[in-house]
Amino acid sequence: MFYTLVGGVLHHAMHMTDALLLMTAAKVENLSTLVGSRILIFSAGNPADKMALRLQRSGAFVKALNGQERDVLPLIKRWHPVLLIITDWTVDMAPWLNELLSLPVCTHLCVLALGADDEAHAMSALDAGASAYLADTVTESVLRAQIGTLLKNGHHWENTEVRQDPYIWINPESSRIRLNGSEIRLSRRLFRFLHYLALHPDRTFTASEIANVLSDGQKFIQENSVAAQVHRLRKYMEAAGAGEWLETVHGFGYRLTLPQKKSFDVKLS
């Protein structure tokens, strides 16, 4: 069963078909928002490894935390997820969630709670600040649709600033990039490409993954054109003495390797 607050009133679907109708706006096209999104799954009970694996296969970056409530905030501060999924929701978790969402670091955090199929549990989660509540018996298709909708409406990775002085600074708000202290100007597509790589340094991406990033999940880009885009981006980076950062990993794909620094700062705007 799906629960949400509309105008301060709890609405729910009594049957799965009703839930699917409520999710009409979150069909397959919305699932592209999963790609590159950071999702934290917190469980105080049974581990959510299977859910994490399914979301990872959809292109999301997922961390599954099986522990205690006090373990959640430190991970949010370090990793900056855009969506927190809480499994095994209980009514007594409400004060903790309410306090968590009052913190500045959680200003843009979307929360999906999963728990028992009754209004008491749903209302406690929504009153505490959860963006949506689902009964833990819903099908995977409904769960994925709701996650896609929350990510689409929430704070996505495109708004995340990357800063590692003095090497790289990417500010999405002003659409500016500095490498080694020199500003470079990129097209919107190449800006998105470098931004995405910089958020995940040292991770190797396949041509198909990069094609999805370049297309923004909306326009089809052939994988064989990815090499040309990489070549163009590397040329711009070379002008700032950073061309060698963009590496070709033969047989696997491409990765961005940044100069070493004691800490790597990612700030939410």
* Full set of structural domains in the chain with CATH: 2-155 (3.40.50.2300), 159-268 (1.10.10.10)
The confidence band for 4, taking pLDDT boundaries of 50, 70 and 90, is low
Angle, vertex CA 213, rays to CA 212 and CA 218, nearest 5: 60
Instruction: Point out the least confidently predicted range of 4-8, 93-97, 99-103, 181-185.
Output: 4-8
110-126 mean pLDDT? 95
Rounded distance between C-alpha atoms, residue 126 and residue 111, angstroms: 9
Q: Phi and psi dihedrals of 7, rounded to 5?
A: 60, 30
pLDDT exceeds 60 at position 217:
no
Phi-psi region of 220 (alpha: psi -120 to 50; beta: other; left: phi over 0): beta
Close Cβ partners of 237 (under 8 Å, ≥ 6 residues apart): 179, 184, 194, 243, 245, 246
Q: In angstroms, what CA-CA distances link 156 with 37, 128, 153?
A: 7, 22, 8
The confidence band for 87, taking pLDDT boundaries of 50, 70 and 90, is very high
Rounded distance between C-alpha atoms, residue 60 and residue 189, angstroms: 20
Q: To the nearest whole number, what is the mean pLDDT of the chain? A: 83
The pLDDT value recorded for residue 32 is: 60
The confidence band for 91, taking pLDDT boundaries of 50, 70 and 90, is very high
The pLDDT value recorded for residue 211 is: 82
pLDDT in tens, 139-192: 999 999 999 888 876 656 777 889 998 999 999 889 999 999 999 999 988 999
Type of residue numbered 269: S
pLDDT exceeds 50 at position 59:
yes
